[in-house]
Structure 1
């Protein structure tokens, strides 16, 4: 077994497809197949069942999976430790972030980072915050810049960068936009457009309403906040959006007893050695913190 064959094995196991694994590793499907065949020959056991286009792990594959992950994690830690000795931020930094943060919070940070550290190849993936956190926990990404989890994840260190107040909003032609005083029961009587129920933002909204005995009627769900803003603007329903997104197309509602907020920040694996590139990004992100949040950490230790 070597680094290349183990990388191919993990890529196929994660993607469930030889072609998708090849795309992830920038290799052709035959090259991936050859590496898997070499690994299976060395172990004298099949690692995948190939049924049509479906690829699933055999019992031997499932047994090998945690050891393969651990071996590659150890190799990556060794590479990072050697990079620390050289002292320069270089190599590849894998980062996952949400579309909202990428559009509204990161442009200036990324501009500074690439100017200061031109030797770093920045691999930036856009995805839901929940997916980014899971990818960091599983070792597929080194750093996540995300909406922070509502409950601590034992594998992750989380650190607040940006407080993100939320506003309940409707379109300018919505009945509640001109209703004067509005209470939560009024809101619950109208349909909502919200992020998917698995997102941290949806959970914040549902938990807040549930504390008042209310459940939102969700007409439509999408995880793209810019899309939600458009749907609210055309009158499809009320929503909850970052206050920083408010403009003339929206009317924020003041609701007694309801204050909503989420926190945006960074996550990394508790037990992984951070590369110099990751350390440089973390240091730069900490300069974005409000003074009151500079020492805030949402999980114990490093």
Structure 2
């Protein structure tokens, strides 16, 4: 039995999918499957139920999951203990970020951290905000840059780095472009282009509509802000974004603040408390980058 086999098993168990688990541990799907099969042969029992579309756990798999996590945590504790004595931090960090992230200081902080601590392997994972928060709570993500409508997801450490109200983006010849102010009722009289559910901007929009008793017609959605801008510029609907997530729109679109949606969309760093020196150092680096 090898630690890497346990790591692959835990990844499949947490992701419930061989493809996502392979992406997480950075080897091929066939490699993950082969190593788990070897582990199953050694244990004499199937751990993964392969009879359904999702990779669920068998009874033996459920029994093995917590001991496997404990073994991996013990191995990490050994690395940390040696690192504290030698002064060299080693290990792995999985960093999550929202799809289409364009926050340059975030990338610069990661680069500075990598230069200062080359013994720490950093993996970047793009996903929507809700799944990144779930990953932090499950332990598969160490820290994430998310979009959110809440100042602090329950039970997690949070540092807000951007707080902005929503704007409507339309071509110059659109009726809303000629209004000095735009209300939620004005906005939702038109087809909307927005981010998917599970993102901060969409959550702010959906909550505002629900509070006003309005059912918006979100006819198109995309995860990348520049895709939303491009769709709106082609006249396919009104884009709803926050100001800084609408790159390069000023030559093609007119931005109007949505006057009666006062709740801001937030970009925030989120992480859980963990006895991980690498995470502590990274958080310190990010705090310096976003004072």
For the aligned pair, the TM-score class normalised by the smaller chain equals: 0.7 to 0.9
Q: Is the 8 A contact 2:197 2:203 kept in 1?
A: yes
Distance 2:233 2:209 in 1: 22
Q: State the partner residue of 1:299.
A: none
The 5 Å alignment of 1:23-38 reads: 24-27=24-27, 32-33=32-33, 35-38=35-38
Q: State the partner residue of 1:107.
A: 107
- Structure 1 residue 269 and structure 2 residue 272: aligned? yes
Q: State the partner residue of 1:287.
A: 288
**Which deviates further from its counterpart, 191-200 or 178-187?**
178-187
Q: Is the 8 A contact 1:148 1:158 kept in 2?
A: no
Q: State the partner residue of 1:294.
A: none
Q: State the partner residue of 2:190.
A: 190
Q: Tell me the SS of whatever aligns to 2:121.
A: strand
Q: Is the 8 A contact 1:168 1:253 kept in 2?
A: yes
Which segments of 5 or more consecutive residues in structure 1 lack a partner in the other structure?
291-302
Q: Is the 8 A contact 2:128 2:198 kept in 1?
A: no
Q: Is the 8 A contact 1:161 1:286 kept in 2?
A: no
TM-score under structure 2 length normalisation: 0.82
Q: Is the 8 A contact 2:149 2:265 kept in 1?
A: no
TM-score under structure 1 length normalisation: 0.80
Distance 2:155 2:181 in 1: 45
The 5 Å alignment of 1:2-21 reads: 2-16=2-16, 21=21
Which segments of 5 or more consecutive residues in structure 2 lack a partner in the other structure?
none
**Which deviates further from its counterpart, 218-227 or 205-214?**
205-214
The 5 Å alignment of 1:14-93 reads: 14-16=14-16, 21=21, 24-27=24-27, 32-33=32-33, 35-51=35-51, 55-93=55-93
- Give how far 1:171 is off: 2.3
- Give how far 1:25 is off: 3.8
1:165-195 Cα deviation digits (max 9, x unpaired): 4322222232211244543322121110111
Q: Is the 8 A contact 2:166 2:265 kept in 1?
A: yes
Q: Is the 8 A contact 1:161 1:288 kept in 2?
A: no
After superposition, the Cα gap between the structure-2 partners of 1:125 and 1:27, relative to the gap in structure 1 and judged at 3 Å, is: closer
Distance 2:179 2:277 in 1: 54
After superposition, the Cα gap between the structure-2 partners of 1:256 and 1:128, relative to the gap in structure 1 and judged at 3 Å, is: closer
Distance 1:191 1:53 in 2: 35
RMSD (Å) for aligned C-alpha atoms? 3.1
- Give how far 1:27 is off: 4.9
